[in-house]
Amino acid sequence: MSAIEICDLTRTYSKGSSRRRRSDQHVALDQVNLDVPEGEIHGLLGPNGAGKTTLVKVITTILLPTSGSVRVLTHDVVTDAKAVRRLIGLVLGGDRGLYSRLTVDQNLRYWATLHGLGAREAQHRCGQLIKRFGLEGWANARVETLSRGMKQRVHLARGLVGEARVLLWTNPPPA
């Protein structure tokens, strides 16, 4: 089964105030085709403006495709967006996606709640992730006090708090 299946995906943006004239359209993605089998790791590389972020936004249901189709574990991102959101974990880099004045544990519990986990389940899941990513000594530390590397661990734990089957990671740290 494909984790992500993209067929003839096109995404255009309107330039300026006119939304009708074709000449005023910017093509961000043009007939993209991609198949990522379940259990595989793939990287998406390209220069600024190549459409990487737009592609991630379409896969995660933040943007709609102009044409073509995108499926995540057989669920269409347009017609079954709710199911897609339950299956995907999104890991953002830098300072996005974490609340700096909250502790590591508070951040994870907040995102667990957004994923619909009850209090007991959230406590258990967050404890598992804190242990899995070696964050035990920092569970009660405010995120703003962590090093960049420790913040990346928290980002990754946050992306997995909903038990995602497909994980998308934007701006991973340099190797």
Rg of the chain on CA atoms, in Å: 18
Q: Is the pLDDT of residue 20 over 70?
A: no
Q: Check whether 94 has a pLDDT greater than 60.
A: yes
* Spatial distance between the Cα atoms of 77 and 143, rounded to a whole number of angstroms: 32
pLDDT in the model for residue 141: 97
Say what the pLDDT of residue 61 is: 94
DSSP assignment of 123-149: HHHHHHHHHHTT-GGGTTSBGGGS-HH
pLDDT digits (tens, 9 = 90+) for 156-168: 999 999 888 999 9
Residue-level pLDDT at 173: 56
pLDDT beyond 80 at 137:
yes
Could you tell me the two tokens for 116?
Answer: 């619909």
For 45-56, the pLDDT digits (tens) are 888 889 998 999
65 exposed, middle or buried (CB, 10 Å; 0-12, 13-18, 19+)?
buried
CA 37 vs CA 4, 34, 72: distances in Å: 7, 10, 10
47: exposed, middle or buried (C-beta count within 10 Å: 0-12, 13-18, 19+)? exposed
Q: Picking from 10-19, 73-82, 123-132, which range would have the lowest pLDDT averaged per residue?
A: 10-19
- How much is the pTM? 0.80
**Could you read off the pLDDT of 26-40 as tens digits, one per residue?**
999 999 999 999 999
Tell me the per-residue pLDDT of 96-112, one tens digit each, with 9 for 90 and over: 778 999 999 999 999 99
CA distance 47 to 18: 28
